[in-house]
Amino acid sequence: MKVGADLTGGLFWHLRALVARHMLWAPFRAQLEAWLFGWSPPARILLLVGPSAGWCLPDNFLTRFDHLHAVDIDPAAEPLFRLLHGGALSRAGAGLSWSSRDFFADPAGVLGAYPGAAVLFCNVAGQRCVQVRDPLAVEAEMAALQGLLRGRDWASFHDLLSARTVASPPARSLPGHVGAHELLASLGLGGEWFDHLTGRLLPSDAARRILPWRFKRGRLHLIEAGWVEAAGRSSASAS
Protein backbone atom coordinates (compact mmCIF):
# COMPACT_ATOMS: atom_id res chain seq x y z
CA MET A 1 0.00 0.00 0.00
CA LYS A 2 1.28 3.42 -0.88
CA VAL A 3 1.80 6.01 1.86
CA GLY A 4 0.51 9.47 1.07
CA ALA A 5 -2.79 11.27 1.50
CA ASP A 6 -4.64 14.56 1.22
CA LEU A 7 -4.75 16.53 4.45
CA THR A 8 -7.93 18.22 5.61
CA GLY A 9 -8.36 21.44 7.55
CA GLY A 10 -7.59 25.05 6.80
CA LEU A 11 -9.22 27.50 4.46
CA PHE A 12 -8.36 25.56 1.28
CA TRP A 13 -10.10 22.49 2.67
CA HIS A 14 -13.23 24.47 3.56
CA LEU A 15 -13.32 26.15 0.15
CA ARG A 16 -13.08 22.74 -1.55
CA ALA A 17 -15.87 21.40 0.66
CA LEU A 18 -18.08 24.40 -0.04
CA VAL A 19 -17.77 23.83 -3.78
CA ALA A 20 -18.03 20.03 -3.73
CA ARG A 21 -20.66 19.22 -1.08
CA HIS A 22 -23.74 19.74 -3.26
CA MET A 23 -22.26 18.21 -6.43
CA LEU A 24 -19.26 15.88 -6.33
CA TRP A 25 -19.85 14.84 -2.72
CA ALA A 26 -23.64 14.55 -2.96
CA PRO A 27 -23.76 10.74 -3.45
CA PHE A 28 -21.47 10.17 -0.47
CA ARG A 29 -23.45 12.58 1.70
CA ALA A 30 -26.67 10.73 0.86
CA GLN A 31 -25.12 7.35 1.73
CA LEU A 32 -23.68 8.74 4.96
CA GLU A 33 -27.06 10.16 5.92
CA ALA A 34 -28.70 6.76 5.34
CA TRP A 35 -26.07 5.07 7.51
CA LEU A 36 -26.40 7.62 10.31
CA PHE A 37 -30.19 7.16 10.22
CA GLY A 38 -29.65 3.60 11.41
CA TRP A 39 -27.57 4.57 14.45
CA SER A 40 -29.84 5.35 17.41
CA PRO A 41 -27.85 5.59 20.65
CA PRO A 42 -30.05 6.24 23.71
CA ALA A 43 -27.85 9.11 24.93
CA ARG A 44 -29.28 12.58 24.41
CA ILE A 45 -25.78 14.12 24.29
CA LEU A 46 -23.38 13.54 21.40
CA LEU A 47 -19.64 14.14 21.36
CA LEU A 48 -18.45 14.95 17.83
CA VAL A 49 -14.75 14.27 17.35
CA GLY A 50 -13.22 16.18 14.45
CA PRO A 51 -16.45 17.33 12.78
CA SER A 52 -14.75 20.21 10.95
CA ALA A 53 -17.58 22.42 9.69
CA GLY A 54 -19.90 19.43 9.37
CA TRP A 55 -19.86 19.65 5.59
CA CYS A 56 -21.17 16.09 5.23
CA LEU A 57 -23.25 15.83 8.42
CA PRO A 58 -27.04 16.04 7.96
CA ASP A 59 -29.15 18.35 10.11
CA ASN A 60 -31.77 15.64 10.64
CA PHE A 61 -29.16 13.54 12.44
CA LEU A 62 -27.65 16.32 14.54
CA THR A 63 -31.03 17.56 15.74
CA ARG A 64 -31.89 14.17 17.22
CA PHE A 65 -29.73 15.11 20.21
CA ASP A 66 -30.42 17.62 22.97
CA HIS A 67 -26.84 18.84 23.04
CA LEU A 68 -23.73 18.49 20.88
CA HIS A 69 -20.18 18.80 22.19
CA ALA A 70 -17.68 19.23 19.36
CA VAL A 71 -13.90 18.82 19.61
CA ASP A 72 -11.85 20.12 16.67
CA ILE A 73 -8.48 21.88 16.53
CA ASP A 74 -9.26 23.77 13.30
CA PRO A 75 -10.02 27.41 14.30
CA ALA A 76 -12.26 27.87 11.26
CA ALA A 77 -14.39 24.84 12.06
CA GLU A 78 -16.62 26.28 14.78
CA PRO A 79 -17.87 29.43 13.01
CA LEU A 80 -18.48 27.49 9.80
CA PHE A 81 -20.26 24.68 11.66
CA ARG A 82 -22.51 27.21 13.37
CA LEU A 83 -23.18 28.88 10.02
CA LEU A 84 -24.13 25.56 8.38
CA HIS A 85 -26.04 23.90 11.22
CA GLY A 86 -26.77 26.56 13.83
CA GLY A 87 -30.18 27.45 12.42
CA ALA A 88 -31.42 23.86 12.46
CA LEU A 89 -30.03 23.28 15.95
CA SER A 90 -31.68 26.44 17.23
CA ARG A 91 -35.05 25.51 15.75
CA ALA A 92 -34.80 22.07 17.35
CA GLY A 93 -33.77 23.52 20.72
CA ALA A 94 -30.46 21.65 20.62
CA GLY A 95 -27.39 23.12 22.28
CA LEU A 96 -23.86 23.26 20.91
CA SER A 97 -20.57 23.67 22.77
CA TRP A 98 -17.11 23.63 21.25
CA SER A 99 -13.59 22.76 22.33
CA SER A 100 -10.39 23.31 20.36
CA ARG A 101 -8.55 20.52 22.23
CA ASP A 102 -6.58 17.98 20.25
CA PHE A 103 -8.52 14.79 20.90
CA PHE A 104 -5.66 12.47 20.00
CA ALA A 105 -3.25 14.26 22.34
CA ASP A 106 -5.39 13.23 25.32
CA PRO A 107 -8.26 10.93 24.30
CA ALA A 108 -8.90 9.71 27.83
CA GLY A 109 -9.10 13.27 29.11
CA VAL A 110 -11.50 14.39 26.39
CA LEU A 111 -13.75 11.37 26.80
CA GLY A 112 -13.68 11.78 30.57
CA ALA A 113 -14.97 15.33 30.22
CA TYR A 114 -18.18 14.04 28.57
CA PRO A 115 -18.98 10.82 30.48
CA GLY A 116 -22.64 10.57 29.45
CA ALA A 117 -22.23 11.28 25.77
CA ALA A 118 -22.39 8.98 22.78
CA VAL A 119 -19.35 9.54 20.52
CA LEU A 120 -19.09 10.02 16.77
CA PHE A 121 -15.70 10.18 15.05
CA CYS A 122 -16.29 12.34 11.97
CA ASN A 123 -13.88 11.17 9.29
CA VAL A 124 -10.95 12.15 11.46
CA ALA A 125 -9.20 8.88 12.35
CA GLY A 126 -7.85 8.39 8.84
CA GLN A 127 -5.71 11.52 9.12
CA ARG A 128 -3.58 10.16 11.95
CA CYS A 129 -1.31 8.27 9.55
CA VAL A 130 -0.23 11.60 8.09
CA GLN A 131 0.17 13.33 11.45
CA VAL A 132 2.04 10.39 13.04
CA ARG A 133 4.65 8.85 10.76
CA ASP A 134 5.07 5.55 12.64
CA PRO A 135 2.51 3.10 11.18
CA LEU A 136 2.72 0.75 14.18
CA ALA A 137 2.05 3.64 16.56
CA VAL A 138 -1.03 4.67 14.58
CA GLU A 139 -2.42 1.14 14.49
CA ALA A 140 -1.81 0.78 18.24
CA GLU A 141 -3.55 4.08 18.83
CA MET A 142 -6.58 2.93 16.84
CA ALA A 143 -6.81 -0.34 18.76
CA ALA A 144 -6.43 1.44 22.12
CA LEU A 145 -9.48 3.57 21.42
CA GLN A 146 -11.67 0.48 21.72
CA GLY A 147 -10.67 0.14 25.37
CA LEU A 148 -11.16 3.83 26.09
CA LEU A 149 -14.64 3.69 24.55
CA ARG A 150 -15.75 0.51 26.31
CA GLY A 151 -19.16 0.99 27.94
CA ARG A 152 -20.22 3.74 25.51
CA ASP A 153 -22.28 3.91 22.39
CA TRP A 154 -19.88 5.11 19.73
CA ALA A 155 -19.55 5.23 15.97
CA SER A 156 -17.00 6.24 13.39
CA PHE A 157 -16.80 6.89 9.70
CA HIS A 158 -13.24 7.19 8.52
CA ASP A 159 -10.90 6.86 5.55
CA LEU A 160 -9.91 3.25 5.10
CA LEU A 161 -8.23 3.27 1.68
CA SER A 162 -7.78 5.89 -1.03
CA ALA A 163 -6.31 6.09 -4.50
CA ARG A 164 -6.11 8.06 -7.70
CA THR A 165 -8.77 6.31 -9.78
CA VAL A 166 -11.91 7.03 -11.78
CA ALA A 167 -13.52 3.74 -10.67
CA SER A 168 -16.97 4.04 -9.04
CA PRO A 169 -17.64 0.98 -6.90
CA PRO A 170 -20.96 0.56 -5.08
CA ALA A 171 -21.38 0.84 -1.32
CA ARG A 172 -21.09 -2.48 0.44
CA SER A 173 -22.02 -3.94 3.83
CA LEU A 174 -19.61 -6.31 5.58
CA PRO A 175 -20.28 -8.51 8.63
CA GLY A 176 -16.84 -7.82 10.09
CA HIS A 177 -13.26 -6.87 9.29
CA VAL A 178 -11.98 -7.71 5.81
CA GLY A 179 -8.36 -7.26 4.77
CA ALA A 180 -7.52 -4.48 2.33
CA HIS A 181 -6.54 -6.75 -0.55
CA GLU A 182 -9.65 -8.89 -0.14
CA LEU A 183 -11.88 -5.82 0.02
CA LEU A 184 -10.36 -4.25 -3.09
CA ALA A 185 -10.65 -7.51 -5.01
CA SER A 186 -14.31 -7.87 -4.01
CA LEU A 187 -14.99 -4.38 -5.36
CA GLY A 188 -13.10 -5.04 -8.58
CA LEU A 189 -10.48 -2.42 -7.74
CA GLY A 190 -6.80 -2.63 -8.53
CA GLY A 191 -3.76 -0.39 -8.68
CA GLU A 192 -1.89 1.39 -5.91
CA TRP A 193 -3.88 2.36 -2.81
CA PHE A 194 -3.04 4.37 0.29
CA ASP A 195 -3.79 2.57 3.56
CA HIS A 196 -5.04 5.00 6.22
CA LEU A 197 -4.22 2.48 9.00
CA THR A 198 -7.73 2.56 10.48
CA GLY A 199 -8.43 -1.16 10.04
CA ARG A 200 -8.13 -1.78 13.79
CA LEU A 201 -10.38 1.05 14.95
CA LEU A 202 -13.64 -0.92 14.85
CA PRO A 203 -13.80 -4.30 16.62
CA SER A 204 -13.04 -7.11 14.19
CA ASP A 205 -16.55 -8.55 14.58
CA ALA A 206 -18.33 -5.22 14.14
CA ALA A 207 -20.48 -4.96 11.04
CA ARG A 208 -19.52 -2.07 8.82
CA ARG A 209 -20.53 -0.22 5.68
CA ILE A 210 -18.02 0.73 2.97
CA LEU A 211 -19.03 4.06 1.42
CA PRO A 212 -17.27 5.29 -1.74
CA TRP A 213 -16.45 8.99 -1.55
CA ARG A 214 -15.43 10.77 -4.72
CA PHE A 215 -13.23 13.22 -2.85
CA LYS A 216 -12.14 14.93 -6.04
CA ARG A 217 -12.49 14.00 -9.68
CA GLY A 218 -9.36 11.88 -9.85
CA ARG A 219 -9.36 10.54 -6.30
CA LEU A 220 -11.59 8.01 -4.56
CA HIS A 221 -11.75 7.32 -0.83
CA LEU A 222 -13.29 4.18 0.64
CA ILE A 223 -14.92 5.23 3.89
CA GLU A 224 -15.50 2.59 6.53
CA ALA A 225 -18.50 3.27 8.79
CA GLY A 226 -19.59 1.27 11.81
CA TRP A 227 -20.92 1.59 15.32
CA VAL A 228 -20.58 -0.20 18.65
CA GLU A 229 -23.32 -0.37 21.25
CA ALA A 230 -22.57 0.13 24.93
CA ALA A 231 -23.90 -3.32 25.78
CA GLY A 232 -21.24 -4.84 23.58
CA ARG A 233 -23.33 -5.58 20.51
CA SER A 234 -22.02 -3.94 17.31
CA SER A 235 -23.61 -3.41 13.92
CA ALA A 236 -23.91 -1.18 10.87
CA SER A 237 -26.84 -0.22 8.70
CA ALA A 238 -27.26 -2.11 5.46
CA SER A 239 -29.36 0.64 3.96
Residue 4 included in any domain: no
Q: Is there a domain that residue 2 lies in?
A: no
User: pLDDT at position 2, please?
Assistant: 34
The domain of 21 spans 10-235
Nearest of 48, 212, 10, 49 to residue 128 by alpha carbon: 49
Statement: residue 20 has pLDDT above 70: yes
Task: Report pLDDT digits (tens) over 69-91.
Answer: 999 999 999 999 999 999 999 99
Dihedral sign computed on CA atoms, order 216, 220, 23, 121: negative
Give the domain CATH number at 174. 3.40.50.150
User: Cα–Cα distance between 62 and 92 in angstroms, integer?
Assistant: 10
Predicted confidence band of residue 13 (pLDDT cuts 50, 70, 90)? confident
Q: What is the mean pLDDT of the chain?
A: 92
Domain count, the chain: 1
pLDDT over threshold 60, residue 238: no
pTM listed for this prediction: 0.93
Rounded Cα distance between 53 and 103, Å, is: 16
Of residues 200, 194, 201, the one with CA closest to residue 222: 194
